[in-house]
Amino acid sequence: MKLYVNDISSATSRVRIALAIKGISVETLPVTILGENPENRGADYLRVNPQGLVPALVTDKGTLVTQSIAIIEYLDELQPNPPLLPAGLEQRALSRAVALTIAAEIHALVPPRIARRLSSIPGMDAAGIADWNRHWTVEGLTAVDSLLASHGAGPFVGGEQPSIGDILLFPQMVNAERAGMNLAQWPAAAAIYERLKAVPAFADNAPAPRK
């Protein structure tokens, strides 16, 4: 299998974590996503993935799988053990809810393509974009933290073992910490994050810092 990646991408980080948990090896192909003419917006990459996003997985049958959650679910079905969803019904729902809150309510509003669009709006500068990113990150992680606290989550999202909720939470918390946000404002999420930092599959596959 081939995986198109970018090291700073939190979505790429998610898939790499899942691969590490599963012990699955793939060929990785780097794709630039920043700058004036990033490769992910070029014709060559758009022929691979018409969405122009990373990560993108090409299976050993030549089938394209896009979107990090869909790729993670594909890997979980391809190789069921260890599972990436908890055993209990409510715990599975919680893990999925955390994952989707991060993917749809935070990450969808702060990637490079959103920053490019914002920068084209008159009066919007780098400080304004940073404030935009901080607003949606704080709002989203506050909701995630409340969700975790209300469910009385275990050592990880949804139970005793890391699951898809943890896989999405970890890179988002890494980015929030690097942005100078006080993680103590999200005590439930921060406690899980600290535990995940001790798990090699997570620690070794965090998103790289932007240069």
% of the chain residues with pLDDT over 90: 94
Judge if 69 and 161 occupy the same domain. Answer: no
Summarize the confidence of residues 112-117 as an average pLDDT: 90
Confidence of residue 36 (pLDDT cuts 50, 70, 90): confident
Structure confidence at residue 152 (pLDDT): 78
Judge if 74 and 128 occupy the same domain. Answer: no
Q: Is residue 34 within 8 Å of residue 113, measured between CB atoms?
A: no
Summarize the confidence of residues 35-44 as an average pLDDT: 93
Residue 208 lies in a domain: no
Confidence of residue 107 (pLDDT cuts 50, 70, 90): very high
Task: Answer yes or no: is pLDDT of 153 > 80.
Answer: no
30: which 2 tokens? 């780097």
Residue 131 lies in a domain: yes
Judge if 154 and 70 occupy the same domain. Answer: no
Domain encompassing residue 24: 2-78
Judge if 142 and 195 occupy the same domain. Answer: yes
Beta-bridge mates of residue 29: 4
CATH number at residue 190: 1.20.1050.10
Judge if 112 and 72 occupy the same domain. Answer: no
Q: Is residue 47 within 8 Å of residue 23, measured between CB atoms?
A: no
Structure confidence at residue 132 (pLDDT): 95
CATH number at residue 50: 3.40.30.10
Mean pLDDT, the chain, rounded, equals 96
Judge if 142 and 174 occupy the same domain. Answer: yes
Residue 211 lies in a domain: no
The Cα 203–Cα 74 span in angstroms is 23
Summarize the confidence of residues 17-22 as an average pLDDT: 98
Structure confidence at residue 158 (pLDDT): 87
